[in-house]
Structures are given as structure tokens and as C-alpha cells.
Amino acid sequence: MISNITNTFIKAEKAFDNENFRESQNLLNKVISHDKDYLSAYILLYQIYDKKNSSKKNLIYKELKRLDPNINICLLYTSDAADDLLCVDLGGRRI
């Protein structure tokens, strides 16, 4: 059982790396349905929902906080309209 969950998670990671987010999401949901405490699955699922700009990421964030109350998720976004006052230049991109 454990190896099946791990193999399913590895397949989900590969699908995510190949930008096949739907397949990755489906596989991650299978992992979570077998193991509600699989932290890595929630983190990857959060990334998928964030890419889709889905409100479901808020539900996943709550689960992440349940599993690890000290977890902090910080996603870095760039914008050409960023403030010029407090920014960092990273290869031509203002952050």
C-alpha cells in the first residue's frame, strides 16, 4: 500500500514537471484520499491550484497549516508594473 502511494506521488511529480497539471492533480487526489497527512502531496497540489488561480488553494493551505503549523508559503511574482521604489533587479526583471 505504501509503495503504491509513493509511486502514485512520483507519477504526479513527473506529470507536474511536464506541465500536465490535470493528470498531476488527479494523481495527487488519489494520494491524499489514501493518506490525509501526505504533506508533499498538499504542497504540489497547492502549486497547481496557484497556477490555475483557483480558490481551492485556500483549502489546501488550511490542510498544510494543519499538518505543519509553522509552514509559510511565499510565492514570488514579477510584474512589469512593479514599484520602482522597493525592488530588486534579477536579470532585467524588477522584483
In tens, the pLDDT along 46-84 reads 999 988 889 898 999 999 999 999 888 765 554 444 444
pLDDT tens profile 29-47: 999 999 999 999 999 999 9
Q: Read off the pLDDT of each residue in 4-21 and give the average, rounded to a whole number.
A: 94
Q: Indicate the pTM of the whole model.
A: 0.70
**What is the Cα–Cα distance from 95 to 84, expressed in whole angstroms?**
9
Least confident of 1-10, 19-28, 82-91: 82-91
Backbone angles phi, psi at 30, to 5 degrees: -65, -40
pLDDT for the residue numbered 83: 43
Taking the CB of residue 55, how many other CB atoms lie within 10 A of it? Answer: 8
Q: Is 94 helix (H, G, I), strand (E, B) or coil?
A: strand
pLDDT for the residue numbered 71: 86
